[in-house]
């Protein structure tokens, strides 16, 4: 899994995770090809949410091919905490990390763009969600990167209820049960397995989702 956050003037590029699927041949170049297509040669930061290979196995390759200014990784042996806001390129991140098990030690990042909340939970599962619910004044979020590739061990219904996301992105395939639950909660849900690479274009008034596998949108997608 990997997600790029690019500023409208394309001068700031932050990558969240740097993993690829080792089962597929040539996937090692997928992220770099994608970044180059978007004219990215320098990464202001790479966040590595946690240390499972599908989230970091391309890091070394990216370090060789791009100027990487900063790598921020989750840390081992830290209890629940809320780091002071990490102000980065004028974008404050609330930053949480919970629990012992590696998925549940995923960074959880919240930030605001155009007055809309964005929440990235990476591979956090229900125990981490419960901790967040107990310890944090969770706000509604417009955008949610759905935990643990849409697996049913994440996205507990109370968690989704509180967040009330409007757009949900799943890296990999969704489990029917997660999809149905998210749709019941009125979240427009997309997965890379079904829709290909996903883009959310954020403007003052709206979020437009472009998906790779829809031909019409694909044209727009590739002429960006
Ligand atoms: Zn994963
Ligand atoms: Zn994981």
pLDDT in tens, 134-160: 877 788 999 999 999 999 899 999 999
Are residues 68 and 172 both part of a single domain? no
Q: In the chain, how many domains are there?
A: 2
pTM for the full model?
A: 0.86
pLDDT (tens digit per residue) in 50-95:
889 999 999 999 999 999 998 888 875 444 444 444 545 545 555 5
H helix or E strand, kind and range, residue 130: helix 126-135
CA distance 94 to 162: 17
Are residues 135 and 53 both part of a single domain? no
Proportion of the chain above pLDDT 90, given as a percent: 37
**CATH number assigned to the domain comprising residue 208:** 3.60.15.10
CA distance 143 to 162: 13
Are residues 51 and 100 both part of a single domain? no
Are residues 66 and 90 both part of a single domain? no
49 Cα: distance to centroid of ligand 1 (angstroms): 9
Are residues 117 and 193 both part of a single domain? yes
CA distance 135 to 140: 15
Residue 13: Cβ-neighbour burial (10 angstroms; 0-12, 13-18, 19+): buried
- What separation in angstroms does the CA of 39 have from each of 9, 88, 151? 11, 21, 33
Are residues 30 and 95 both part of a single domain? no
120 Cα: distance to centroid of ligand 1 (angstroms): 13
Q: Which residues hold their Cβ within 5 A of ligand 2, which is an ion? A: 52, 103, 123
CA distance 141 to 160: 10
Phi, psi at 198, each rounded to 5°: -120, 140
Are residues 105 and 149 both part of a single domain? yes
CA distance 201 to 213: 17
Are residues 213 and 111 both part of a single domain? yes
74 Cα: distance to centroid of ligand 1 (angstroms): 14
Are residues 207 and 99 both part of a single domain? yes
Are residues 142 and 216 both part of a single domain? yes
pLDDT (tens digit per residue) in 24-34:
656 667 889 88
Look at 86-90, 162-166, 209-213 and tell me which has the smallest mean pLDDT. Answer: 86-90
- Of 73, 97, 127, the residue at which a domain comes to its end is 73
- Of 73, 88, 122, the residue at which a domain comes to its end is 73
- Of 36, 52, 73, the residue at which a domain comes to its end is 73
The range of the structural domain enclosing residue 42 comes to 1-73
Are residues 169 and 189 both part of a single domain? yes
CA distance 221 to 217: 6
Are residues 168 and 60 both part of a single domain? no
For residue 7, what pLDDT band results from cuts at 50, 70 and 90?
confident
């Amino acid at each position: 899994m990997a997600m790029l956050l690019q500023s409208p003037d394309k001068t700031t590029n932050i990558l969240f995770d740097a993993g690829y699927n080792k089962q597929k041949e040539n996937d090692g170049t997928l992220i770099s090809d994608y970044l180059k297509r978007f004219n990215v040669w320098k990464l202001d930061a790479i966040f590595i949410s946690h240390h499972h290979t599908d989230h970091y196995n391309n890091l070394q390759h990216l370090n060789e091919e791009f100027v990487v200014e900063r790598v921020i990784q989750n840390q081992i042996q830290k209890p629940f905490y809320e780091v002071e806001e990490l102000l980065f390129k004028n974008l404050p991140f609330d930053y949480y990390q919970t629990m012992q098990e590696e998925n549940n030690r995923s960074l959880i990042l919240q930030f605001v763009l155009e007055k809309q909340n964005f929440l990235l939970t990476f591979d956090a599962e229900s125990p981490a969600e419960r901790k967040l619910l107990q310890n944090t004044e969770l706000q509604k979020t417009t955008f949610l990167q759905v935990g643990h590739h849409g697996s049913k061990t994440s996205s507990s219904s109370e968690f989704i209820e509180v967040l009330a996301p409007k757009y949900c992105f799943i890296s990999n395939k969704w489990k029917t049960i997660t999809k149905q639950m998210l749709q019941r909660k009125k979240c427009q849900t997309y997965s890379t397995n079904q829709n290909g690479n996903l883009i959310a274009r954020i403007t003052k008034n709206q979020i437009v989702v472009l998906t790779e596998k829809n031909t019409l949108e694909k044209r727009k997608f590739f002429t960006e």
